[in-house]
Every structure is written in C-alpha cells, then in structure tokens.
Amino acid sequence: MNIRIPRLVLGAVILLPVAARAQTGHAKVKIVAPANGATVSGPVKVVLQATGVEIVPATVERPGTGHHHLFVDHDLTPVDDTIPRGVTGILHLGRGQTEFVLDSLAPGPHRVIAVVANWKHIPLKPLVVDTVRFTVK
C-alpha cells in the first residue's frame, strides 16, 4: 500500500504548525461561568479563565499581558481599535479582575463576550475571545 506513506507525511505537515502554536502558548480565554446555554438567577457572576496571557491591571505595560473586557448584550467593537470606555454594556476589568458580578440583568436571554486586550485597550492578536449565551430567570 504505497498510498499510506504519502498520507503520513501529509499528516505530519498539517499537524506541525498546530503543535508549534501550542508551544508558543497562543492565548485563550474561557468564560467558565455562567455556562453556555444555562438558565441562571441574578445576580450573575461571570468567571473568566485565561491561558497563555498574564492577566494584570491595565496600568501594566508589558508584552504578554492583558486585562479582561466584557461585552454584555453588546456587539464587539472593531478589533483593531481601542475598546471604548463609558459605554453601557462594555466593561473593562482594569484592575486585573477575573470575575465580575452582573447585578442588573433583566430576566430573559443574554449574551456575554469576553475579550482580552492590552494596556492600550486594543484586543490582543490573534483575538482572545469567548462567548456565552444564557437566560436569566
């Protein structure tokens, strides 16, 4: 079966870049709570877990760091631009927090998008993002 050898080689070529990325620790963020699709009672505690990036206060100007942002029932802003302040539904966790309590969500469906951005409040590249949808009773 000659065909098996080329397939293996091809497989190695495809898998190699993925392994390389894992080693350099491409950053990720996960919204641990609330679970996607969950029905919860308010207030809703959002719990964030980042890997491959150090979560620090927004005052820390160091590569490899960032702070969390939450877009609550708000679309993402352009990813090459500064995430705005003072906008309802956009939260900067600028003290390096990894949890935030949403205490004024109305009953019904909601969507939270978490994005890690640097000290300039510009999203990291590649984008470090996670989304959950849930319902408040």
From 89, 62, 83, select the one nearest 128 (Cα to Cα): 83
Nearer Cβ to Cu ion, position 55 or 136?
A: 55
Nearer Cβ to Cu ion, position 49 or 77?
A: 77
CA distances from residue 39 to 30, 36, 42 in whole angstroms, order as listed: 18, 9, 10
Residues in the chain: 137
Q: Give the nearest distance from C-beta 30 to Cu ion in angstroms.
A: 19
Nearer Cβ to Cu ion, position 26 or 92?
A: 92
Q: Give the nearest distance from C-beta 4 to Cu ion in angstroms.
A: 52
CA distances from residue 94 to 6, 23, 98, 102, 114 in whole angstroms, order as listed: 51, 28, 10, 16, 13
Q: How many CB atoms lie within 10 A of CB 41?
A: 8
Nearer Cβ to Cu ion, position 116 or 136?
A: 116
Interaction site with Cu ion (CB under 5 A): 92, 121
